[in-house]
Structures are given as structure tokens and as C-alpha cells.
């Protein structure tokens, strides 16, 4: 059921972000802080979103934990490094939601489920209808659609492959070469 304008008036908006291939460069099963590198222009781009009062929330599947490739402590170390690298740009992530489960676990939180976005919205008072989810994989786009927020595709990470299938989705999905290009969305008012 769509939210009425009155109910969304006091809700926040968010830019949800996939981690690997979006917030940081894509390395399969990245598990060490020294592997973390951010895409060119990403720091300033996220600062611009933050300056427009968007919460920045990372939504990430980390099945390497469930597969026994690395631990939750390893994931925490990587996230600490991500926050450190973005700090000089003045970027502060408002939260990080992760699914550590193996795909065969059939959990409720793993993308393409919208569960992590819904939980983030409940926790932070976010209007999903007024928010975006920037990802590079089909599971990111599908999670955004399932949660009722606007999916955005970036062609970094696995984005080029995902782009080949973009016509299958029931909503229009804006496509960007890199995260820095998304700031154009801040320059137009949909109302």
C-alpha cells in the first residue's frame, strides 16, 4: 500500500549501497582490510548525497562467512577500513546491514530479499518510496524492487553483466557508469 504524502513528510530518505563493486572495488570474497580500495570519485559523490540529507546505509551479502571462507570478525575489520577510507571525505555511513548466510540456508535476509532494506527503514525511520538502492548485481536491483525503493545500477563491479539483463525488470532502472555520476539525481526535484 503506497504511503500518503502526510505519512512520509517526517520520514528520512536513504541511499542504500551495495558494498562490493559499489562502495569498494569488487574482489570476490574480499576478507582483508588491506584489500579495500574505493572507486574514483566515490568519496565526494557520497558526501554530496549525505549533504542532501540522505542516510548512507550499506546492504551486503557476505556468504563467505556461511561458506567458511572468513569470519564475522574479518567482515567487521573490512567495514572498519571502509569507514576509515571514506572519513577524509567527511562521509559517515549511518549503518551497515549484512547477511552472513550461505545461499542454501534459505534465510529471510539475503538479497534479493528486501528484508535488510525493510529492517533499515524501520530502524531509521526511512521512507523506502523516497529512497534509492545503488547496486551492481541482479540481487541488488531485485532487493530494491521487493522493498519498494528505486533501484539504480552502476556499471562497476558486476554491473556490466547485470546491464545485459536490465530489460527483464518491471521498473525503469537508471544506469550510471560510476558512483560519481549518480549525483545528477540530486539536481532534479521529482515533485
Report the catalytic residues. Answer: 18, 20
73 Cβ neighbours under 8 A, 6+ residues apart: none
- Looking up cell 527503514 gives 121
Q: How far is CA 13 from CA 5, 34, 49, 191, in A?
A: 13, 32, 10, 15
Amino acid at each position: 500500500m503506497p504511503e500518503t504524502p502526510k505519512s512520509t513528510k517526517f520520514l528520512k530518505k536513504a541511499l542504500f549501497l551495495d558494498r562490493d563493486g559499489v562502495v569498494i572495488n569488487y574482489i570476490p570474497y574480499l576478507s582483508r582490510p588491506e584489500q579495500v580500495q574505493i572507486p574514483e570519485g566515490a568519496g565526494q559523490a557520497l558526501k554530496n548525497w549525505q549533504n542532501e540529507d540522505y542516510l548512507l546505509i550499506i546492504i551486503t551479502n557476505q556468504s563467505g562467512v556461511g561458506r567458511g571462507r572468513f569470519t564475522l570478525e574479518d567482515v567487521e575489520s573490512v567495514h572498519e577500513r571502509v569507514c576509515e577510507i571514506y572519513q577524509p571525505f567527511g562521509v559517515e555511513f549511518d549503518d551497515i546491514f549484512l547477511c552472513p548466510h550461505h545461499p542454501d540456508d534459505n534465510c529471510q535476509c539475503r538479497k534479493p530479499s528486501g528484508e535488510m532494506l525493510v529492517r533499515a527503514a524501520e530502524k531509521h525511520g526511512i521512507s523506502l518510496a523516497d529512497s534509492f538502492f545503488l547496486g551492481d548485481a541482479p540481487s541488488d536491483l531485485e532487493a530494491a524492487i521487493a522493498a519498494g525503493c528505486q533501484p539504480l545500477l552502476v556499471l562497476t563491479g558486476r554491473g556490466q553483466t547485470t546491464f545485459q539483463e536490465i530489460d527483464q525488470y518491471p521498473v525503469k532502472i537508471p544506469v550510471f557508469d560510476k558512483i560519481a555520476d549518480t549525483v545528477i539525481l540530486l539536481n532534479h526535484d521529482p515533485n
